[in-house]
Each structure stands twice: as C-alpha cells, then as structure tokens.
Amino acid sequence: MHEGFLVYAGFRYLKVATLLCVAAIAVYAWHSPPDEPNGGTWLGYGLGGIGAAIILLLMWFGVRKRRYGTVSKLQGWLSAHVYLGLSLIIVATLHTGFQFGWNLHTLAYGLMMVVIASGFFGIYAYARYPRLMTENRRGITTEEVYAGIGELDRECRQVASTMPDEIASLVLVSCNETRVGGSIARQLSGHDPDCGTERAFAGIRDLAASAGAEHGGDVRKLISLLGKKSTLLRTMRRDVQLKAMLEIWLYFHVPLSFALLAALVGHVISVFFYW
Amino acid sequence: MTTEFDIVIVGSGPAGLSAAARAAKRGVNHVLFERTDHASDTIYKYQKKKFVMATPDVLPLQSDMQFAAGVREDILGTWDAGLDEHAVNIRYNAEVTAIEGAKGDFTLTVNGNETVKAKHVIMSIGVQGNLRQLGVDGQDWERVQYQLDDPLEYDGETIVVVGAGDAAIENAIGLTEQNEVIIINRKGEFARAKQGNLNAINGAIENEVIECYFNASPARVEPGLLVLKTPEGEAEVKCDRIIARLGANPPRRFVEACGIKFSSDEPSALPELSAKYESSVEGLYIVGALAGYPLIKQAMNQGFEVVETILGNPVRPADEALLEERFAAIEGMAVGEVLEAIQNNVPLLSHMSRLQLREFMLESRIHRVRPKDIIFERNDFTNSVYSIVDGAVDIQINPNDPNEVVTLRTGAFFGEMGLLSGRRRTATILAHEDSILVETPRRAMLKLISSIDAAKRVIDEAAISRQIQTHLAPNIDPALLEEVVSTATIESFSAGDVMIEEGETTDDVYLIRSGSMMVSRRIGGRDVVLSYIPAGNYVGEMALLTEAPRSATVKATVAAETIKVDAGAFKRLLEREPALKSEIEARFRDRLVQNVEVEERPDSGDIIDFLVNQGLGEATDVLLIDEALCVRCDNCEKACAETHGGKSRLKREAGPTFGTLHVPTSCRHCEHPHCMSDCPADAIHRAPNGEVFIDEKCIGCGNCARDCPYNVIHMAYPPPPKPGLLQWLLLGMGPGPGEDKTPRAKPEGARETATKCDMCKDIAGGPSCVSACPTGAAIRVNPEEFFSITASTKSGRA
Ligand SMILES: Cc1cc2nc3c(=O)[nH]c(=O)nc-3n(C[C@H](O)[C@H](O)[C@H](O)COP(=O)(O)OP(=O)(O)OC[C@H]3O[C@@H](n4cnc5c(N)ncnc54)[C@H](O)[C@@H]3O)c2cc1C
Ligand code: HEM
Ligand code: SF4
Ligand code: SF4
C-alpha cells in the first residue's frame, strides 16, 4: 500500500538515470576525439551541459520542498533527485575525461562527489533509522514519555520528603539536573555522562546501607522509581539520537551543495573566459 | 377582579413580545403575561455575553421589535426599550395557570387566583417548561440552585451537581477548573447525553477529576450537606453548593389542559395548527418554539403575523418572497399552488403541515430539468434527496450499459441511499423528460425523517426494496424480489454488538445498509479477524448455502443498520433464479479461499482489528503513515499549516501505531460525521468528493469539537495575515513558512471558530500532507480499498 520514494512509480527515475548512464558510456566509448578526451570536445560540452542542468534540478529540490499545495508529489521529486544525483557520478566523470588537477574544475568535481556521498549516507539513514525509531518508542509518544517522567519525579519528591537530607538533595539533583538532548555531539551520542538521574541513582545506592533501617523501604522505592525513569530517559535519548542521525547529514549535504553551486558557476565562467 | 381584553398574550419570549408590540401599535386592547420578573426568560437565561445568532440569514424580519445577531445583553436591552417605546401592556410575575372557554369568551386564570377575560388568546410560552426541583426536604437552602450562568463565578468550593444530562455534565466539567466537583447520577451510567459530553464526563471520572456517585439519588438537604440514598445505604456528601440540573417538565400537560390537541403521543409531537397558527381550539393561537419554530427570528415573525390575522388583515408571510424566488423555475404558479402541487403529488412530503412544508422548501431547491440532464453521477459523494413533483427520471442500473435504466415518475423520490449509507452514489440518474424536482439537503431530510413518522415509513419501505435490488440482484425483475422485500426487516446495532455468533444455526442473510461490520473466528482461543465489510454488502449467505452452523462471528464496528432478509424467502429466490444462485456460489467460493489465506496470516487480521478500533470502520478517507518510511521531517504538518492559514489540522506524532503503521490525529471524513450531528449553524458539510468541511457560518460553539470521537477539530482564533516570503526574510515580519501562526490569547474582537481537515478540497493536487511527503510515508486511503488489500475482497462471509 505504501510505496517508498526509491520504488516510486515502478522505479521510473532509476530507469531514466540508468538509460542516461548507459547512453553516456556508449557515446564516450564510441567517440574518438582528435586529442585525449576532455570537457572541450562536443561530447564534453554535451555531458557538461547535462550535468550542470541536473545539478540545477537537484538544487531546485530545496525550493520545491517548501512549495506546498502543489499538483505533483514531492515524493516523485525526491525519487528523481536521488537517481539523477547518482547518475552524475558517471555523467560528470565522463565529462572530465579523467583529467584532474589542482584547479577550480576539479574542486567543483570533488565537491560534487562529496555532496553525492553525503546523499548516499542520507539514503542509508532514511532506510534504516525510521524503523528503529518506531521500535524504540514502543508506541509511546514524546508527550507521554515526558508526562511519565514528570509523574515519576513527583513520586520521588513525595517519597523523599520524609528522608534524610543527603537523599532528598540527590532526588532534587535527579529532578532538576536531568536533560535530554543538548549539543549536537550530545544528541548523536545517545547518552549523557553527566545525567542527574544517573548520579542520583548511584548516590542513593551508595547511601542505602547507611540510611538506617526505618528508611529501607523508601530507599528501595526510590531506586525502583529512578530505575524506571532511567529507562524512559534511555528511550528518549535514543529517540533524539536517531532523529539527529536522520538530520545531521543534511547539515553537510545542503551547505556543500551551495559550495558546489558556487564552484560550478566559477567553473563555467572560467571555461568560457579562457576559451 | 375580572378585566376584559381583545387579545391576551401568554409568555413574553420573542414570539410574545413581537405579538404584543404589534397589538400595541394597532391600538388593540391587550395584555402580555409573563411568569418571571423580566421579559423573555429563555434568552435571559442564556450564558452571559452569549453571541445570539439571527438564523436563518435569508429570512427577513417582520416585527415591530428589533432583532439582529448580537450579544445577549444588547438584545435584551433593545427589547426592554421596545416594550417602553410601544407602550406594551406587560405584566410580570403573572403566570397563566388555566385557559378555558371559546373564541370571543376565554377566561384565563393568573397565578391561580385572578381571572381575566379575552376574545383571543395567543400562547407563546416556548418549550422550556418548568425546571424540575429536587423535591426533597431542605431543598430551600439558599445554596441549592437550578441554573449556572458562569462556572468561573465560583472558586474553591465543593459543589455537587445533580443530574446526568448534557446540562449537568457541561456544568460539572466547567466547574472543575476552580472547584471540587461531585456529580450524582440516578442511574449506573451516563446514557442520555451527547457523545462529546459522554466522553468528557467518563474521562473526568476515570482521571478522578470529578467524583461520581452512581445509582444514587438525593434524600434530603441540610445546609452544607447533601444526604444521598445509595444501594449501600445513606451517604453524606459535604458541600458548599448544590446545582440540580434535572431538566424541565415540558409545557405539554398545561397546553393539553387548555383543550389543545397534539399531532401524536410522541414526545416530539407538536400541537395541531392551521396555516394561520390557530390551534384545535378556535380563537386560541400558538406561535414560537411551541409551534415548532425553534429560532428567534421565526418566532418574532409569527407573533407579528398572528396579530394581523386576528385583526382580519391580509398577511404576507415573511418567507413569501423567498419562496417565490425559490419557485421562480416554475412559471405561472403562485407559492400556494406550488406547495399544493408538491403535497398532492409527492407522498413523501404530504404528511407535513403547510407551515412545516414552507420551512422545508426554504431549505430545499427546485430544479427544472430537460431530458438527458444529469442529476447526479455514480460515485458522487453528495447526499441530498430528490422528489419528483412532475416528470420522470432514469436510473442507470448497470454501470457498464447506460441504456439499462429504470424509470421513476411523478411522486417518486430518489437519492435516499446516499443519505442513509453515507457513501457514494450507487447510480447515475438523468432526466427522462421535462421534469420538476425538489432537492432537499441532508439536514432538512433528516429532520423530516425524525419528526414525521409517516415520512420515515415511506422512506424505509422504498429503501429496503431498492437496497436489496441494488446490492443483491441488480439485474433481475423487481417483481421476483417481492417476497424477499416484504419479509425483510431493518435491524440496528451499536458499535461492538454481535449480529451473528459463530456456531449458531440461524441462516438469515443480512444486507449492511449503513455502518460496517467485522468478521472474526475463534482460532486457538483467540478471535482472529477475517475481514471488514462496509455498507452495501451482504453477509450471512454462507450458512444458507452450506446449511451448516455459522462459521464466524459478525460484529458491528460502528453504529450500523442492516436489512435482514428472511432465509426461506431468499432460498426460494435462489431456486427460481439459477443465474443468481451460481453467482452467489462463486462469490462464496472466493471467500472460502480468502478466509483460509487470512487464517494463515493472522497478522493481517490484527491490522484490521487495530484499524477498526481507530475508527476506520466509519471512515471514508484516512491518513496513514508508514513509520518505516517516515523520516519525521514534519513536512506534512508544515504543508497543512501553509495551505490552511498557518494552523495545521494534523498532528503527525499523536495517534496510535501498530507495527509501523501509524494513524495520526487527522480527520477520517466519517460516513455519518459525528461532528455534523449537532451544529446549530449548519456550518459543516460534505463536498461532492466526500470531504467533510466547515464553512464560514461557524459560530464557534464548539459542539463539533466535543462530538468528534477522534479529537481532530480544534477551536482557534483566526491567524494574522501571512507576510510575503520577502517581507518575512528581510523584515522579519510575521511567522515564517510552516510555523504555527494562530494566536494563543484572544485577539481584540476575535471569535474562535472550528478548524479541521478539509482534505484540501480546493487544491488541485489533493491533500497537501500527502503531496508534501518526500518519502511516500504519508498516504490517504479509502478504507474499503485498503481493507480489501489487507485481507480479502468486498463482500462478507459468515
Ligand atoms: C441555550 C440556547 C441557545 C439558543 N441560541 C439561539 C440563537 O443563537 N439564535 C436563535 O435564533 N435561537 C436560539 N435559541 C432558540 C430560541 O431561544 C427559542 O427558539 C426562542 O426563545 C423561542 O421563543 P418563544 O417566544 O417561542 O419562547 P421562549 O423564548 O421560550 O419564551 C417563553 C416565555 O414564556 C414564559 N412563560 C412560560 N409559561 C408561562 C405561563 N404559563 N404564563 C406566563 N408566562 C409563561 C416564559 O417565562 C418565557 O419568558 C437558543 C435556545 C437555547 C435554549
Ligand atoms: C550534486 C548532487 C546533489 C545536489 C546538488 C543535492 C542538493 C540537495 C538539496 C539542495 C537538497 C535540499 C535539502 C533541504 O532543503 O532540506 C537535497 C536534499 C536531499 N538530497 Fe541531495 N543533492 C545531490 C545529490 C544527492 C544524491 C546523490 C542523493 C542520494 C543518493 C541525495 C539525497 C538527498 C536526500 C535524501 C535529500 C533530503 C530530502 C528531504 O528529506 O527533504 N542528494 N539535496
Ligand atoms: S471531524 Fe471527526 S467526526 Fe467529523 S468527519 Fe472528521 S473524524 Fe469524523
Ligand atoms: S463550532 Fe463546530 S458545531 Fe459549532 S458552529 Fe462551528 S462548526 Fe458548527
């Protein structure tokens, strides 16, 4: 019933891209330019033109993504984006005629390959993480998790209100110094080495022995509540981590694609300038 | 002391006020009696600052009193000023307790002791009746009250609410914001209330926001204390205040005691009235809500008209010009003649009083059609009903052959199947010859069916035979179906009711005419769902063909109605019609194969079960997200917000998930939308493609948001104007693309309105959420197609 963007319309854009690549390779093999193959032959111009057009089309995706209420589906655009983007590996490489050097032209090529590589990671992330997120969540929504944590905090405070100060202050640490998310590195790591709840948990366990017999039951209760809270926190941190993985690559993909665009413009101007 | 008047008016609601003002203006010797110490008690008791609507908008006002939509306080003020201006002879604190006598010589008893004489009486006492009291010792404690104007007036009190109807529930919930609330229900559950209120109260009790005593009734009151009788004995409830909402005694007893006849014993029946509002007692007229006209403007127009009638002046009803316009398509006939023709020609509409018909026709439209004009097409989602006043239409009964038609002639009606099932039209209908048709929208038709039994009977009889014909045997001669039709009966089921139990030995066949059913079988001690069957299909023929006990259980997924076809009659039909029999046998074999397949993949049954629990059993179109594809980018929500004035009507994350199939909180466009059931402004409609949408008539009462069981309607203030992309980028003006732009606090002068998904009905590309999803995770499906993919094909098996 659901059809992902990779299989969209019976792999229409995979077919288009494959055709394009096969045609490019065939013509390249058949073509024998006067000197070695390069961007300056008629085939070079042809492939370069096609490649540049594809890049512009891929860049346009960012604009198209923010146009809402359209007639065509964004899904089709992403499908085309991915397959045509991959076809650039062939089209642009043949366009270079394998002539690389320390110049603007090769910089544009390199940037393009990096953008494509990051796109590749995107595909991997899109294929893998969504399912992991669902499994990790076990049907609970973010709001429910935070409500659950709030409730556990309330219970902890209630239990702690009749307990010695060291323990009560540890409970406050758990309530006030627990964070989910934070810096990008923290999000991607999926845990927090300085988590208030973990510290409180460890501290209370250490104090358990010295807390006195009359507090035994309450200590056990606190430990169990904090244990539950840790489980919820793990779920949320994993959720944040997976969400970050789904997004992080775009922070390379998009800026680099703009750098590519700039390099591409430079490449084209310089070619025509030196001609 | 006895005084004599030409006209006595009883009750100073909008109808009575308008009548009295007219009488005063005409210089007639009159008096207006009002039970309370202020005019127009019903409106007086509206919530403070309530915005009063002046519906129907099209109807002009014909009265000496002024009235336009506005705030309660202003309207009451205008009327008080009008009373002074026209020097109306109004007497407050004067309850009329008896009316005797005849035209020219009525005697009215006031407050039980004083009498007045009248030549004519106009009764305009509304339908609110007398509020029921607690009726126990101590009930005159000053903190026992029968009304609640503003729940926020009380703070920090413990308040007991007595009652289980909508008013009690709404009060109790409103009070929880600042008070401890206890509710007393005489029964074991809340059954009388509307769905939205039911959900709210049950939720509040479950979450311990409200404490509830079930099966309890008040025994006596002491200051600060209510003593209850409960099954376990007496219980004492300490409280600061008691609010009893026990409903009202309808005024019918009093009206009947005055000698006035009602049209039937039904509680909803109205007094019998002539076209001039005269009751069965000559000289005694009834106008306003009691006459069956529940809106202020109508009541006022009638008050004016009735006085003119009594004075013997010709009156042109306020709606006359409107009806003339409505009837413009029929040239050369006066309004009265057209109404006459309609009642004479169309049995379905003949049981209405002339007044009811006028109103019915104001809501309906008259069409004049030429041969071959298309009236509606198969698969349209419209749900109006047509009556043929004159002429004939052709129904194309075979989608593959437009020439195969059944002709309906003058007096017949059609289109009721869409209305009853809430589904797409099953056939295309064209005009056969020059014809005149009346098209009546869903709401007016439902009102007709629910208020006039005879009309309901006419519809049901025709519907049974047509539904059997359409869904069981479209191609055979209707005469052959006569026995099946005449023995068929209609049965209703609530959600979850079992219609057929596995193992039982009945063999009737059922045609589902509204709602849907779910078929399941017990396998290894567990109910395995085999299939989902929408309206328009039949179930139960397996047992009939195999003569074996029922092989599966069939349960209603939502409120459903079925036509039960008698087994014997059905068998005889199959004997006579071998072609039909072999067709049914073929379907039956397909089904056996599918059942086996499903039993081998029981998880597909689990999905059906899950989705049915999410309301897909009554959906026509639902948003489903495959979480294995969803990258959580929320572009769907952004698209919704961008295309709907900045407020997303969809919450992607909220809502349940089964496996990776997620049902976000978003409108299901129900077959019989709950949200539509109680919209006073008639602002919710179904578009031809099935989209349920709210138009600008919404008055913000919030009923729909409470009535929708899926929580998809939100009350919101209108968003600020959207800045252009450049303004936003360069000047930082307003909210950016995809941001929620609705104000949280009330902007000056703004009114909340209901917002919900309209399936982007005005956008060429269809639902924006779907077209904006980059990965294909979000799709909108029609459950019928979807379920047939999950499990098996269309018709049922049991
Ligand atoms: C909560 C609510 C909201 C509504 N909102 C709207 C709206 O927005 N727009 C709209 O058009 N309509 C609205 N209506 C409907 C409207 O209020 C009624 O249709 C209208 O009031 C009917 O007018 P009436 O003159 O027939 O009777 P009523 O207004 O009911 O007046 C009857 C009067 O008769 C008096 N009376 C009764 N018995 C006796 C007796 N024996 N002796 C002397 N006096 C007696 C009563 O005290 C009362 O003052 C609403 C109704 C309710 C309940
Ligand atoms: C030179 C080549 C490419 C360029 C210039 C390019 C550029 C872009 C741009 C501008 C966006 C818009 C991001 C946004 O606005 O949110 C985007 C998104 C994306 N690109 Fe590329 N891209 C290229 C190649 C690829 C390739 C080869 C792949 C896959 C193998 C790919 C996969 C994606 C994906 C998955 C998205 C995100 C879609 C979304 O969730 O909105 N791209 N790309
Ligand atoms: S708003 Fe609610 S009740 Fe109305 S159609 Fe949508 S899901 Fe059904
Ligand atoms: S809030 Fe809902 S029910 Fe009330 S008027 Fe608006 S659309 Fe109708």
Which ligand approaches the C-alpha of residue B53 most closely? Answer: 1
Could you tell me what percent of chain B has a pLDDT over 70?
Answer: 93
Q: What is the pLDDT of residue B793?
A: 32
Q: Which of B104, B25, B89 is nearest to B284 (CA)?
A: B104
Q: What is the pLDDT of residue B2?
A: 62
Could you tell me which chain B residue has the CA closest to the CA of A65? B772
Statement: residue B256 has pLDDT above 90: yes
| CA–CA separation, B658 and B611 (whole Å) | 9
Establish whether residue A80 lines the binding site of ligand 2, counting it when its CB lies within 6 angstroms of any ligand atom.
Answer: no
Which ligand approaches the C-alpha of residue B672 most closely? Answer: 3
Establish whether residue B242 lines the binding site of ligand 3, counting it when its CB lies within 6 angstroms of any ligand atom.
Answer: no
Q: What is the pLDDT of residue B602?
A: 67
Residues of chain A neighbouring B635 (CB-CB closer than 8 A): 65, 74
Among B621, B712, B761, the mutation site with the greatest number of ligand 3 atoms within 8 A of its Cβ is B712
- Asked if B660's CB is within 8 angstroms of A68's CB, the reply is no
pLDDT, tens digit, for every residue of A42-80? 899 999 999 999 999 999 999 999 989 888 999 999 999
Statement: residue B643 has pLDDT above 60: yes
Interaxial angle between packed helices A142-160 and A216-248, expressed in degrees from 0 to 180 and rounded to the nearest 10: 150
- Answer yes or no: are the C-beta atoms of A65 and A106 closer than 8 Å: no
Nearest neighbour of B628 by CB, restricted to A70, A131, A139: A131
| CA–CA separation, B191 and B198 (whole Å) | 8
Token couple for B138: 């101590």
Q: Which whole number is the average pLDDT over B531-540?
A: 84
Statement: residue B786 has pLDDT above 80: no
Which ligand approaches the C-alpha of residue A118 most closely? Answer: 2
| CA–CA separation, B551 and B540 (whole Å) | 9
Residues of chain B neighbouring A142 (CB-CB closer than 8 A): 653
Give me Rg for the CA atoms of chain A. 28
Q: What is the pLDDT of residue B269?
A: 76
Q: What is the pLDDT of residue B739?
A: 57
pLDDT, tens digit, for every residue of A77-100? 999 999 999 999 999 999 998 989
Q: Which whole number is the average pLDDT over B622-640?
A: 94
- Asked if A243's CB is within 8 angstroms of B632's CB, the reply is yes
CA distance readout (Å), B404 to B372, B396, B410, B429, B465: 14, 6, 20, 12, 19
Of ligand 3's atoms, which has the minimum distance to the CA of residue B713? 1
Establish whether residue B700 lines the binding site of ligand 4, counting it when its CB lies within 6 angstroms of any ligand atom.
Answer: yes
Q: What is the pLDDT of residue A79?
A: 97
- Asked if B776's CB is within 8 angstroms of A3's CB, the reply is yes
| CA–CA separation, B35 and B250 (whole Å) | 15
Nearest neighbour of B627 by CB, restricted to A70, A73, A130: A130
| CA–CA separation, A69 and B765 (whole Å) | 7
| CA–CA separation, B519 and B500 (whole Å) | 9
Statement: residue B408 has pLDDT above 70: yes
Q: Which whole number is the average pLDDT over B626-652?
A: 92
Token couple for A72: 């065509």
What strands, in cross-sheet order, belong to the sheet with B392-396?
Answer: B374-376, B428-431, B392-396, B405-409
Residues in chain A whose Cβ is within 8 Å of chain B: 1-5, 8, 65-66, 68-75, 77-78, 125-126, 129-131, 133-134, 137, 139, 141-143, 243, 246
Identify the residue whose tokens are 């009151």: B221
- Asked if A1's CB is within 8 angstroms of B781's CB, the reply is yes
What is the identity of the amino acid at B87?
A
Q: Which of B762, B676, B662 is nearest to B713 (CA)?
A: B676
Average pLDDT, chain B: 87
- Answer yes or no: are the C-beta atoms of B795 and A146 closer than 8 Å: no
| CA–CA separation, B468 and B389 (whole Å) | 26
- Asked if A134's CB is within 8 angstroms of B779's CB, the reply is no
Residue of B208, B629, B763 to mutate when probing chain A, most A C-beta within 10 A: B629
Phi-psi group of B615: left, alpha or beta (phi > 0 → left; psi -120 to 50 → alpha; rest → beta): left
Q: What is the pLDDT of residue B787?
A: 67
Kindly report the number of other CB atoms within 10 A of residue B49's CB atom: 10
Q: What is the pLDDT of residue B399?
A: 85
Taking every pair of Cα atoms in chain B, the longest distance, rounded to a whole number of angstroms, is 90
Q: What is the pLDDT of residue B507?
A: 85
| CA–CA separation, B721 and B735 (whole Å) | 9
- Asked if B629's CB is within 8 angstroms of A71's CB, the reply is no
- Answer yes or no: are the C-beta atoms of B787 and B626 closer than 8 Å: no
Q: Which whole number is the average pLDDT over B163-182?
A: 89
Q: What is the pLDDT of residue B12?
A: 97
Of ligand 4's atoms, which has the minimum distance to the CA of residue B701? 4
Could you tell me which chain B residue has the CA closest to the CA of A239? B632
Please list the helix, strand and coil fractions of chain A in percent, rounded to the nearest 5, in that order: 80, 0, 20
CA distance readout (Å), B283 to B17, B125, B280, B305, B311: 19, 17, 9, 15, 12
pLDDT, tens digit, for every residue of B708-741? 988 899 988 777 665 555 555 555 555 555 555 5
User: Model confidence at B750, in pLDDT bands (50, 70, 90)?
Assistant: low
Which ligand approaches the C-alpha of residue B667 most closely? Answer: 3
Q: What is the pLDDT of residue B776?
A: 94
Statement: residue A192 has pLDDT above 70: yes
Could you tell me what percent of chain B has a pLDDT over 90?
Answer: 43
Q: What is the pLDDT of residue B742?
A: 55
Q: What is the pLDDT of residue B531?
A: 81
Could you tell me which chain B residue has the CA closest to the CA of A122? B631
Residues of chain B neighbouring A68 (CB-CB closer than 8 A): 638-639, 642-643, 768, 772
- Asked if B639's CB is within 8 angstroms of A69's CB, the reply is yes
User: Model confidence at B274, in pLDDT bands (50, 70, 90)?
Assistant: confident
Q: Which whole number is the average pLDDT over B179-198?
A: 83
Ligand 4 atom 7 nearest Cα: B698
| CA–CA separation, A42 and A39 (whole Å) | 8
pLDDT, tens digit, for every residue of B686-716? 888 889 999 988 877 788 998 898 889 998 8
CA of B680 to the centre of ligand 4 (A): 7
- Asked if A69's CB is within 8 angstroms of B768's CB, the reply is yes
Q: Which whole number is the average pLDDT over B409-422?
A: 89
| Domains present along chain B, CATH in parentheses | 2-129+250-310 (3.50.50.60), 144-244 (3.50.50.60), 322-458 (2.60.120.10), 481-602 (2.60.120.10), 620-717+752-781 (3.30.70.20)
CA of B65 to the centre of ligand 4 (A): 29
- Answer yes or no: are the C-beta atoms of B242 and B221 closer than 8 Å: yes
Establish whether residue A117 lines the binding site of ligand 2, counting it when its CB lies within 6 angstroms of any ligand atom.
Answer: no
Q: What is the pLDDT of residue A218?
A: 86
CA of B43 to the centre of ligand 1 (A): 6
SS (H, E, C) B614-642: CCHHHECCEEEEECCCCCCCCHHHHHHHH
- Asked if A71's CB is within 8 angstroms of B775's CB, the reply is no
pLDDT, tens digit, for every residue of B599-625? 777 677 788 888 888 878 888 899 999
- Asked if B653's CB is within 8 angstroms of A130's CB, the reply is no
Q: Which of B632, B643, B646 is nearest to B736 (CA)?
A: B646
Q: Which whole number is the average pLDDT over A112-119?
A: 97
Q: Which whole number is the average pLDDT over B638-666?
A: 89
Statement: residue B795 has pLDDT above 70: no
Of ligand 1's atoms, which has the minimum distance to the CA of residue B254? 41
Q: Which whole number is the average pLDDT over B208-229?
A: 92
Structural domain boundaries in chain A: 4-138+248-274, 142-246
| CA–CA separation, B34 and B41 (whole Å) | 9
Give me Rg for the CA atoms of chain B. 30
Q: What is the pLDDT of residue B413?
A: 94
